[in-house]
Structure 1
Amino acid sequence: MKSFVNRFSLIALTVFSACQSFLDVKPLESISDDQTIVDKATAETAVRGVYSALGSSNYYGTGFQSIGYLSGDNIQWTGSQSQVQEFINHRVNAENSTIAGAWTAIYQTINRANNVIDKVPGVTDPTLTQALKDQYVGEARFIRALAYFDLARTWGGVPLILKPTLSPTENSGIPRSTQAETYAQVLADLDAAETLLPATTDRYRATRKTVWALKARYYLYQKDWVKAEEFATKLLDDATNYGLLKPYSAFFANDARGTRESVFELFYNGTTEVNSHRGQWQPQTNGGTRQWAPNDALVALLNDPAVGGNRSVLVAKDNQNRWYGTLYYRNPASDPSFVLRIAEQYLIRAEARAQRNRLTDALGDLNAIRDRAGLTASTAATQSALLQAIEDERRVEFALEPHRWFDLVRTGRAAAVLGITDANRLLLPVPVDQLLVDKALQQNPGY
């Protein structure tokens, strides 16, 4: 039953010995059982635990993100583990350890969020004001929305677990919801979070603005072009707090973090919390393993002055003349994981406008990204040409971030670009260990 417990059980860690300032970016500890969220301090710590789970090594720390870019056409695997090559070959097996780890990590994140959502409103500590309760629950609702969004776009419909799990048998027998029902839960959580959270700017914690950014992405995936444009515009109109930085590397190079480019990023301190991405990308001479690296096609694109522009800084050569990625480079490994960037909002709005045949406005958004990269303006003159230009721009703009695979799937372009002839392969298999312990779960077709 170990896998079942990992999927739905509570993860109990040590509570801070002293109350920390909630808005400080500190190591994120967690508490989990119904006896520990009893006052303001433990409520704060429980919320920190939700963020900690979100940034864990199998979720946004490395595992889940690797699914997004290894499955695209930008990255090559340089190691010997065949289970990683499965993503590049688009022949992922249900026994794959990466998908097992990601599934478990996402449900652990959901369970921690469920505890905050369920327990915080009932706390009677007078120092835990209603405004703080709303904020904490809103943050948990946002993170739960992100978690179900990631589950839906990776696996399709999944079991919807909306209450804390206190024993390993509680959720046995819950069938998978449909993908549409899972996405509906995402929107319900985002709508709730939007009403609960303050409209402040915080690049490490969810606020109403963070909700708007994820809503823009959500509506893009739903092909609701009007809503996608509406919510992207809310961020892009806030020029006081958000904007593209020049050159491209300014949002991550020279130990930068929390810049105006960032809408939501995950903090790692490099000691008690480490972003394991660095070790996978950096070469041996820099203390990494270079287990994955930019492939020849991506290197050519980034180094083409007419395509990559100043985004060529995303790749470099090691002492053996081999290319490696530079987005994760800090030692110790304190690189942020970038979940939502303002550049994505520009390209979301560009795509939404192009889909509505508002070509001039769409070109303006696309060319803002190109200008920041040191490129001339796009000359795309038709809707189809402009949509292709936006797709191409997303490929290089987010070259080492987990967008390419999901972009090709949501636009129906995976067959043409990646040569995937079996449509069943556009969703990943449910991990086999989950199927073995819960007979209510059904495998995705084709696996």
Structure 2
Amino acid sequence: MRTLKYILSIGLLTSTVSCNKFLDVQPLESISDTQTIFDKTSAETALRGVYSALSNGSYYGTTFQSIGYLTGDNIQWTGSQSQVQEFINKKVNADNSTIGSAWTAIYRTINRANNVIAKVPTVTDPLLTDALKNQLVGEAYFIRALSYFDLARTWGGVPLITKPTANPTENSGISRSSQAETYALVLKDLETAEPLLPATTDRYRATRKTVWALRSRLHLYLKEWAKAEEYASKLITDTNYRLVKPYNAFFANDARGTQESVFEIFYSANETNTHRGQWQPQTNGGTRQWAPNDAIVALLNDPKVGGGRSTLIAKDNQNRWYGNLYYRTPATDPTFVFRIAEIYLIRAEARANQEKITDGLADLNAIRDRAGIAAATATTKDALLLTIENERRVEFALEPHRWFDIVRTGRAAQVFNVTDANRLLLPIPVGETLIDKALVQNPGY
């Protein structure tokens, strides 16, 4: 089948090391949905399948994140594939295989989440308590919310599919909702998930606190400044989260699950993170298909700008710079979905937009202090917002925020020289529009 809107099965996954490592899993087989969720064990296994889809190489493993890397202005493409260069040039075509793979992977994740949401509440098993049912369903709602959030910020409005797929043609003819309607579903799913989830700290599984992280980001995108500040504050005031020092303490020396992390994706030797191979040079067993460009190298190596963040990059034996956020052998590096550093900068931006200059500056300077650079002294809203924008560029130099940041703030023309507003959303993959005539292409493609 060409589109994952029509998936008929979800992958069963099984623990390979310890039952305590919920996400230390490997693919086993795919079976009919009608057989997958019938007791506590199968319900938990189905949820593992949702997380596995989220961590897949075509979603948060590499492909979807590459859209955020390559369309920004921090990363250069060192290969020769013209389809990848389209992102660098900000002129992506509808037949681009990267967007096709990402779209498919996200809808696969949504379908697996839909199965958990629909079927777990109906299971009768004394071992599957109501509290555990709520948790599993809440986690699925959160992952579905994250998936639709990613679809909305990348493609705009998309078909909203909230029930498990039962046959290949069931979802045919569903037209696209608007971007606003898609974001509204994200918010609804998060509001549903929050009371179902435990108020615990877990850096690998969704909890109420993970919901707060996505809500803070969502409200920032929607320019709902007070709400963005409110949800960011819930995490910043939680003593389980802090900016670890030095900067690289959250990823160097095989670090995992530090207090910096709000939500990261767990990988194991059985299910590796394909990021590493793209960043590391050939001498380290990678391909260095993308690498930091001259502009970000200069910023990171400037002690007044990069500070301790210079540890994000290194040189290979040919004197070439490469990204070193993903470096482990085997490739068990976590993918960082939410760090507390982002939450500080969300609150800084939200406060700046409410003219809370002193408070916003304090949040920004917490990030700069951790990086080992001097405090900023912006005194106006516009100056503070620009300083936050520049800080985000360096703080998340090798994380896929830059493109989305510049697009959501309406500064793509000034920063990226993208004057065609149609290019701010990517085209719907051509394979999808050919299959379903109700799926209307984005303007300009």
TM exceeds 0.5? Answer: yes
What SS does structure 1 have at the residue aligned with 2:33? coil
Whole-Å Cα distance in 1 between the matches of residues 83 and 186 of structure 2?
30
Matching residue's letter, 2:94: A
Query: How far is 1:379 from its partner?
Result: 1.3
Aligned-CA RMSD value: 1.4
4+ aligned runs moved over 6 Å, structure 1: 17-20
The 2-side partners of 1:163 and 1:69 are apart by: 32
**SS of 2:322's equivalent?**
strand
- Give the C-alpha shift of residue 15 in structure 1: 5.0
Q: Residues 284-303 of structure 1 correspond to what in structure 2 (within 5 A)?
A: 284-303=282-301
Q: Which moved more, 1:225-234 or 1:24-33?
A: 24-33
Aligned to 1:441: 439
- 1-structure distance, mates of 2:399, 2:351: 24
Q: How far did residue 269 of structure 1 move?
A: 0.4
1:153-173 CA-to-partner distances (Å, cap 9, x unmatched) read 000000000000021110000
Query: Partner of 1:293: helix, strand, or coil?
Result: strand
Partner of 1:431: 429
**1: CA distance between counterparts of 2:26 and 2:227?**
34
CA contact (8 A) 1:268 1:334 kept: yes
Shift of 1:62: 0.1
Structure 2 residue aligned with 1:384: 382
Could you list the per-position Cα deviations for residues 341-396 of structure 1 after superposition, in whole angstroms to 9, with x for gaps in the alignment? 00000000000000111111011100000000001110111111110000000000
2:12–2:49 CA contact under 8 A, matched in 1: no
In structure 1, what is the equivalent of residue 321 of structure 2? Answer: 323
Contact 1:28 1:48 in 2 (8 A): no
CA distance in 2, matches of 1:286, 1:274: 16
1:412 to 405, 410, 413: 410
Distance 1:267 1:407, change over 3 A: same
Calculate the TM-score normalised by the size of structure 2.
0.97
**Residues 246-270 of structure 1: CA deviation (Å, up to 9, x unaligned):** 0110000000000000000001103
Residues 1:228 and 1:428: Cα distance change in structure 2 (over 3 Å) = same
The Cα shift of 1:195 comes to 1.1
Q: Secondary structure at the match of 2:34?
A: coil
- Output one character per residue of 1:273-302: Cα deviation in whole Å (capped at 9) or x when no partner: 111110000000000000000000000000
1:377-435, CA deviations, whole angstroms, 9 ceiling, x for partnerless residues? 10111111110000000000000101000000000011100000100000000000001
Q: Residues 223-242 of structure 1 correspond to what in structure 2 (within 5 A)?
A: 223-239=223-239, 241-242=240-241
Which of 263, 268, 276 is 1:278 aligned to? Answer: 276
Seen in structure 2, the aligned counterparts of structure 1 residues 137 and 22 have a Cα distance that, compared at 3 Å, is: farther
1:37/1:123 contact within 8 Å kept: yes
From 349, 352, 355, the counterpart of 2:353: 355
Q: Which residue of 2 aligns with 1:167?
A: 167
Is 2:250 the counterpart of 1:251? Answer: yes
Listed as ranges, the gaps of 5+ residues in structure 2 are none
**2:10·2:46 contact (CA, 8 Å) conserved in 1?**
no
In structure 2, the partner of 1:151 is 151
Match for residue 13 of structure 1? 11
1: distance between equivalents of 2:288 and 2:145?
33
Shift of 1:8: 2.4
In structure 1, what is the equivalent of residue 116 of structure 2? 116
Identity %: 73
Q: For the Cα contact (< 8 Å) 1:31–1:49, is it kept in 2?
A: no
Please say if residues 9 and 165 of structure 1, whose CA atoms lie closer than 8 Å, have aligned partners that are also in contact.
yes
2:231 aligns to what SS in structure 1? Answer: helix
| Paired residues, number | 443
1:393 alignment partner in structure 2: 391
Determine helix, strand or coil for the equivalent of 1:408. helix
| Contact map agreement 1:31 1:37 (CA 8 A) in 2 | no
User: Matches of 1:417 and 1:242 in 2, distance apart?
Assistant: 32
Distance (Å, rounded) in 1 between the aligned partners of 2:156 and 2:8: 24
Alignment partner for residue 340 of structure 2, among 342, 348, 357? 342
- Offset, 1:23: 5.7
| Alpha-carbon shift at residue 69 of structure 1 (Å) | 1.2
Asked if the contact 1:173/1:440 (under 8 Å) is kept, the reply is: yes
Alignment pair present for 1:189 and 2:189 = yes
Residue in structure 2 matched with residue 86 of structure 1 by the alignment: 86
Counterpart of 1:353, as a letter, is: R
CA drift of 1:36 comes to 1.8
8 Å Cα contact 1:10/1:112 also seen in 2: no
Whether contact under 8 Å (1:9, 1:168) holds in the other structure is: yes
Aligned-partner Cα distance in 2 for 1:258–1:367: 24
User: Are residues 389 and 411 of structure 1, via their aligned partners in 2, closer, same or farther at CA, if it must alter by over 3 Å?
Assistant: same
- Provide Cα deviations, 1:316-357, integer angstroms capped at 9, x if missing partner: 110001000000000111110000100000000000000111
Q: CA deviation at 1:21?
A: 3.0
- Check 1:238–1:102 CA distance in 2 against 1; reply closer, same or farther (3 A cut): same
Cα contact 1:83–1:96 (8 A) shared by 2: yes
Cα deviations by residue, 1:88-112 (Å, 9 ceiling, x for unpaired)? 1000000000000000000000000
- Which residue in the other structure is 1:49 paired with? 49
2:75 aligns with 75
Structure 1 counterpart of 2:165, one-letter code: T
Contact 1:213 1:345 survives alignment (8 Å): yes
Amino acid at match of 2:424: L
